[in-house]
Amino acid sequence: YPILSHMTLDYLPIQGSSVPCERAFSDAGLTDSKRRARLLPENFGDIQIVKNKYKK
């Protein structure tokens, strides 16, 4: 099932870090502010990954 395997990678991604959900949502709230209202979703995700890497 090669097509199905590619679809699952698109729709069921695995979280790339072991950050607890509560902290991830808290950090996301700090990133998603009125000052950053025009932030693209791709960039938002990248910023969250970088923030979590620097906290370690």
User: What pLDDT, in 10s, does the model give residues 18-37?
Assistant: 666 666 667 666 666 666 66
Distance between CA atoms of residues 46 and 49, nearest Å: 5
Contact yes or no for 31/48 (Cβ under 8 A): yes
Distance between CA atoms of residues 51 and 54, nearest Å: 5
Tokens matching residue 15: 């979280």
Of the listed ranges 11-15, 32-36, 41-45, the least confidently predicted one is 32-36
Q: What is the pTM of this model?
A: 0.40
Distance between CA atoms of residues 11 and 7, nearest Å: 6
Distance between CA atoms of residues 28 and 50, nearest Å: 12
